Amino acid sequence: MSDKIPMSREGYEKMIKELEHLKTAKRREIAEDIARARAFGDLKENAEYDAAKNSQALNERKIADMEEKLERVQIIDETKIPKDQIFIGATVRLKDLGTNEEISYSIVTQDEANFDEGKLSVTSPIAKGLLGLKVGDTAQIKIPAGILKYKVLKISR
């Protein structure tokens, strides 16, 4: 697994922070849960103890996964990405030609995607349909619910 994972500096720093939280505060919290559950007595029939141990295993798996990802991160050099085209790292203002509504999306890596925050994964159908476009271009993007038609109004970084 030596594939590089492209990531913005912001996404990388957010992942480092989350990893630190899992290794410190979350581990402490789980250890307290385990100690509290042990106090209930017989561990063979102790659901709280089992739940705390499962939580511990999940946390350790998440830590290992994040550490493995962080070893493969390649921070995107935004100075090498054209500023007048939609690429990873761009924030785009679009006009939905079906509703005349204006919307804004940031194109990010898969690990940074969060639709509720307007952060689309570069691998999503919408982002794929926008990649390489310039201000004034229009896109017709096929999604499971139909076809979206957008006009690019603004591109920023």
Q: Where are the domains of the chain?
A: 5-75, 78-156
Residue 100: strand, helix, or coil: coil
- Give the per-residue pLDDT at 1: 44
Mean pLDDT across 119-137? 92
Q: Give the mean pLDDT of the chain.
A: 90
| CATH of region 78-156, choose from 3.10.50.30, 3.40.50.2300, 1.10.490.10, 2.60.120.10 | 3.10.50.30
Q: Is domain 5-75 given the CATH code 1.10.287.180 in the classification?
A: yes
pLDDT category at 61 given cuts 50, 70, 90 is: very high
Tokens coding 110: 């898969």
- Give the per-residue pLDDT at 10: 82
User: Which amino acid does the sequence have at 58?
Assistant: L
- Give the per-residue pLDDT at 2: 52
Q: How far apart are CA 113 and CA 70, in angstroms?
A: 16
Q: What percent of the chain has pLDDT over 70?
A: 99
- Give the per-residue pLDDT at 83: 81
Is the pTM higher than 0.75? The answer reads no
